[in-house]
Amino acid sequence: MSLILGIETSCDECSAAVVRYQPDSIEVLSCATFSQIALHRPYGGVVPEIASRNHLETVNPMIERALGEAGIRPDKLDAIAVTNRPGLVGALLVGVSAGKSMAYALGKPLVPVHHLEGHATSIYLHSSGRAPVLRNDLPYPMLVAIVSGGHTNLHLVPAPPELWPLDFLKRSLVGRSRDDAAGEAFDKTAKVLGFPYPGGRWIDETAAQGGNPAAFDFPRALPQKATLDFSFSGLKTAVALKAEELRKAGTLEARLPDLCASTQEAIVDALYAKISLAVRENRCQALAIVGGVAANSRLRDRLANGWKSLGLVRPPILPEMTYCTDNAAMIAGAGAFRFRQGHFLRVPETLTLNAFASPEI
């Protein structure tokens, strides 16, 4: 058993969490998150300096809340895990500095965590009081699709996290977006249609108001079978042109559900096509979808109806909703695996940890 505190400040969520690592499961004892979405909304996207300054004000209260709600005294922690890449470097530095000072003051090991390893680990977490996810019962190879505002990556995962090598993300990557991430495509098209940031949820909800997914035929990039990569950058222009045409005709408002449903269908089609291809090509036993876009109802429906035809042995694995969007529980979870493998810094090396914008290690 190990108790790990996690800290996440890579973008616009400031979060701290305590998890209990067990040989078969990871229990989230607490997860305190402050979302900065309302602060960035007037600007239509994340403003890095506003993010860093707000993390500075919020990170200590989040850590205190996480420890308080878990009922864990800091000296009882086995290690402190912190996201140190990739992300907005000024934002990352706030969490890294908080983690370093705490680990130094308490004489605890410090575990640097890659944000995407955190997302990949989110499927192994369960909140206290919920049924544990028994990770040794999950079948491999597993395809893990990380679909968020910043990333659209397909990873072929051959084994449970205890066995992930340090270059796991690089080794397991089989497909990725060549330009915008899927969440970014939702957010950019939503902005064109006049919805507030972040727009994915608004597109989803407006499409559900009787929108016809076949009303408009928006482009699906890279349809050829030879690649597992995605490209979403052309979609925004196509949607913007159609919206302008409808605006001129005075029918934009009435057609919004159709427009949202067709936009969503183009993104979900592209995701579903490459995910199915990757599952089939690699004879995957299981599929997991993580990151903010895993919340999309159309993607969930398509997977719920289609998983059997893909040859999977169980329905797709989706983390609890709180662990889909950015949070520190997944960072603490990923940190727990690395800690158990012996990959951490001890005092005084703790003070050498840096933050990096790039995902490359």
Strands 79-85 and 110-114: parallel
Tell the smallest beta-carbon distance from residue 105 to ligand KG4 (Å): 30
Chain positions 304 to 343 lying near ligand KG4, rule: CB under 6 A, are 325-326
Taking the least distance from each CB to Zn ion, the nearer of 13 and 27 is 13
Count of chain residues binding ligand KG4 (CB under 6 A): 19
Q: In what order do the strands lie in the sheet with 286-290?
A: 173-176, 152-157, 142-147, 286-290
**112 interacts with ligand KG4 by CB under 6 A:** no
- In Å, how far are 94, 136, 164, 259 from 189, measured between CA atoms? 31, 40, 36, 10
Piece of the chain touching ligand KG4 by CB under 6 A; list 24-32, 36-44, 182-190, 308-316: 182-190
Give the Cα separation of 196 and 187 in Å (integer): 9
Between 325 and 350, CB nearer to ligand KG4 = 325
Does residue 9 touch ligand KG4 according to CB under 6 A? no
Q: Which is nearer to Zn ion, 113 or 142 (CB)?
A: 113
- Rounded (10°) CA dihedral 259, 262, 265, 266: -100
Give CA–CA dist 146/110, Å, rounded: 25
Distance CA 335, CA 141 (A): 22
CB of 115 to Zn ion, least distance (A): 6
The whole-angstrom separation of Cα 55 and Cα 9 is 7
Reading the block at residue 121, the tokens are 């680990």
86 binds ligand KG4 (CB under 6 A): no
The token duo for 38 is: 């309302």
Of residues 258 through 297, those in contact with ligand KG4 by CB under 6 A are: 291-293, 295-296
Chosen residue from 21, 186, 230, 323 binding ligand KG4 by CB under 6 A: 186
Interface with Zn ion by CB under 5 A: which range of 142-150, 310-318, 333-341, 349-357?
Answer: 142-150
Can residue 200 be called a binding residue for ligand KG4 (CB under 6 A)? yes
Choose between 63 and 268: whose C-beta lies nearer to ligand KG4. 268
Interface mask toward Zn ion for 322-341; x: CB under 5 A: ----x---------------
Interaction residues for ligand KG4, span 115-174 (CB under 6 A): 148-150
- Looking at beta carbons only, is 119 or 255 nearer to Zn ion? 119
Nearer CB in complex with ligand KG4: 106/220: 220
Residue 260 contact among ligand KG4, Zn ion, none, beta carbon within 5 to 8 Å by kind:
none
Half-sphere exposure of 206 (CA within 13 A, CB side): 25
Residues 6 or more apart in contact with residue 296 via CB below 8 angstroms = 186, 200, 204, 264, 268
Q: Give φ, ψ of 166 to 5 degrees.
A: -65, -30
Give which of Zn ion, ligand KG4, none residue 27 binds (C-beta under 5 to 8 Å, depending on kind).
none
What CA–CA distance (Å, rounded) separates 238 from 244? 10
CB of 119 to Zn ion, least distance (A): 6
Which has the closest alpha carbon to 10: 292, 328, 334, 294? 328
Closer by beta carbon to Zn ion, 99 or else 150:
150
We find the least distance from the C-beta atom of residue 244 to ligand KG4, in angstroms, to be: 23
Taking CB under 5 A as the binding criterion, the range among 32-40, 163-171, 177-185, 318-326 that sits at the site for Zn ion is: 318-326
Minimal CA–CA distance to 34: which of 73, 60, 1, 2? 60
From its phi and psi, is residue 286 left (phi > 0), alpha (psi between -120 and 50) or beta? beta
Contact 27, 72 (CB under 8 A): no
Q: Which is nearer to ligand KG4, 202 or 344 (CB)?
A: 202
Question: Minimum Å distance from CB 260 to ligand KG4?
Answer: 10
Residues that bind Zn ion (CB under 5 A): 148, 326
Residues that bind ligand KG4 (CB under 6 A): 11, 148-150, 183, 186-187, 198-201, 204, 291-293, 295-296, 325-326
